[in-house]
Amino acid sequence: MATISRAAPIGARLAVRCGFVAAVILAPLACGESSPTRPSPQEIASGKQIFRFDTYGDEKFWTDTLHMNTVIQNNVDPTTAFAVGLKVDADTLPAAVLQAIQAGQVDLHSPATTVLLLKLGAVVGVKATVDSNNNITRLGITCALCHSTVDNRIAPGIGSRLDGWPNRDLNPGAIIALSPALSAAQRAVYNSWGAGKYDPRFNFDGQNGPTVIPPAYGLAGIHSVTFTGDGQQVAYWNQYVAVTQMHGLGSFSDPRLGINIVQSPDSVAPKLPALQAYQLSLAAPAPPAGSFDATAAARGKQIFDGQGKCSTCHAGPTFTDANERLHQLSEIPTDSAYALRTATKMWRTSPLRGVWQHPPYFHDGSAATLLDVVNRYDSAKGLSLSDQQKADLVQYLLSL
C-alpha cells in the first residue's frame, strides 16, 4: 500500500523516467549504497539488464492510469514514434525483420508495426506485454528510455544501443501528452517541454521548468552528480526517478523536499546497487577521430588552465569540483529558477568528459554550442578572451 505525503493533481503527477541519473543523501540501505568493494562482472551485468529492461512495476501507472498501451496500439506508428525520439534496437530484431526494414518492406506508417517491434522487445526503454491477438495488455518504461540512444547504423532511430548517452531526440512531454487522461491545459504544459528536455520536479511543485536530459556515463568517481548536487550517491537519483517519475513500486523519502512515499513490497531498492554499478561502468565516449583540431586544442588547454580560469572549478581528471563543494547561484551564469526548486538550491560543476557529445548546454539548454558557453562565461567573469582564444578553448573542450 502506498502513502504519499504530498498529493498532486493527476496532471502534475504524470511524468516519465528522464531527468538525470544521479544521487543524494539517504541512509545507505534506503539509497542502495554500493559496497566498498569493486562490483563483480555479474553485478554489472545484472545492472545492465535492470537499466535496459526493468520497469519496477510502473505498468500500473503507464497502463492503468495513462492508458498508454491503448494510445500506442491505436495511434503510434513507427514514423510517429521516431518523430518523438523513440529508438529501435537493431540487435534485438530477428534477421528477417531487419532485412525487411532495410528493404523497405515494412510499413512504418502502421501502428501494427509498432506493436510488432514492442512484441520483439526492440523499442529502447519501452516494455510491453502483447497477447496472442497482438493487443498491448501492459506497458511500462525503463531507465533506458531517456538515458540510451542508438548509433543509427541501420537508419535514423534504428541501430545498436549506446547506453548512458542522453536521448536528446526524445520528447517526453509530447509522449505524455498523448494520454487521454489529461486535460487540454495539462497537455499544453507537457507539449511545451520540447525534445531532449524533462522536468523532474513538476509533479511536486507544479512549476514548469524542464531541464535537458544529461548523460548517464562518466559518473565514476564523481559525487553530487545532479545539476544541483542533491546527494552523494547515483542510487539516490535512481530511486527518486524510479519511484516519483517512472512511478515504479518502491519507496522514496527526502524531508528536504517534503516527499515521503512508502510502498510495499519495494521493487526498486533491492536493484539499486547493481544498477549503480552498471552506470558507473559506463565511460564517457572519446571524441571521434578528426572531430577537433589537436594543435588548437593544445593552445586551448593553456587558456583552460590559465586566463579562462576554467580549471578552477572543472578540476582534476573528472573535470569537476563536485566532490568538494557546490556553488552559489550567483557564481554560475545561468537562470537560477530550477535550482531554487531543489534540495540544495545550489549548482554543482558539470564534468566535461564527453561534453562534445551532448549539446545544448547548461541545465536548461540555453547555450546551443560550446562557443555560446565560452562567450557567456567570458562576459560574466570579465575574462577578456580574444576570438582566437575562444576558438582554441572550444577545440580543447571538444577533445575531452
pLDDT at 225: 83
Stretch among 1-10, 188-197, 224-233, 324-333 having the lowest mean pLDDT: 1-10
Give the DSSP H or E segment for 383: none
Query: What share of the chain in percent tops pLDDT 70?
Result: 91
275 pLDDT exceeds 50?
yes
If you ran DSSP here, which 8-state letter would residue 291 be given? S
pTM score: 0.90
Q: How far is CA 262 from its chain centroid? A: 24
Q: Kindly report the number of other CB atoms within 10 A of residue 316's CB atom.
A: 12
Domain 294-398: CATH architecture, name and number where available: Orthogonal Bundle (1.10)
Domain boundaries, the chain: 3-280, 294-398
How far is the C-alpha of 95 from the C-alpha of 264, rounded, in Å? 42
Give pLDDT tens digits for 381-396: 999 999 999 999 999 9
Stretch among 89-98, 110-119, 217-226, 343-352 having the lowest mean pLDDT: 217-226
pLDDT at 36: 53
pLDDT tier for residue 10 given thresholds of 50, 70 and 90: very low
Stretch among 26-30, 44-48, 119-123, 201-205 having the lowest mean pLDDT: 26-30
pLDDT at 232: 76
Region 274-296: mean pLDDT is 97
Region 250-261: mean pLDDT is 96
pLDDT tier for residue 11 given thresholds of 50, 70 and 90: very low
15 pLDDT exceeds 80?
no
Query: What share of the chain in percent tops pLDDT 90?
Result: 89
Region 44-60: mean pLDDT is 98
34 pLDDT exceeds 60?
no
335 pLDDT exceeds 60?
yes
Region 146-165: mean pLDDT is 97
274 pLDDT exceeds 60?
yes
Stretch among 27-31, 81-85, 123-127 having the lowest mean pLDDT: 27-31
Region 130-142: mean pLDDT is 97
pLDDT at 224: 87
Give pLDDT tens digits for 67-78: 999 999 999 999
Closest to 156 (Cα-Cα) out of 108, 96, 212: 108
Give pLDDT tens digits for 79-123: 999 999 999 999 999 999 999 999 999 999 999 999 999 999 999
Region 141-155: mean pLDDT is 97
pLDDT tier for residue 49 given thresholds of 50, 70 and 90: very high
How far is the C-alpha of 373 from the C-alpha of 395, rounded, in Å? 13
How far is the C-alpha of 65 from the C-alpha of 248, rounded, in Å? 13
pLDDT greater at residue 32 or residue 253:
253
Averaged confidence pLDDT in the chain = 91
Query: Would you state the torsion angle of the CA atoms of residues 346, 349, 351, 352, taken in this order, to the nearest 10 degrees?
Result: 130
Counting every residue, how long is the chain? 400
12 pLDDT exceeds 90?
no
2 pLDDT exceeds 50?
no
Instruction: State whether residue 21 is helix, strand or coil.
Output: coil
Contact predicate 173/154, CB 8 Å:
no
pLDDT greater at residue 225 or residue 400:
400
Contact predicate 398/291, CB 8 Å:
yes
Q: How is residue 36 written as a grid cell?
A: 566498498
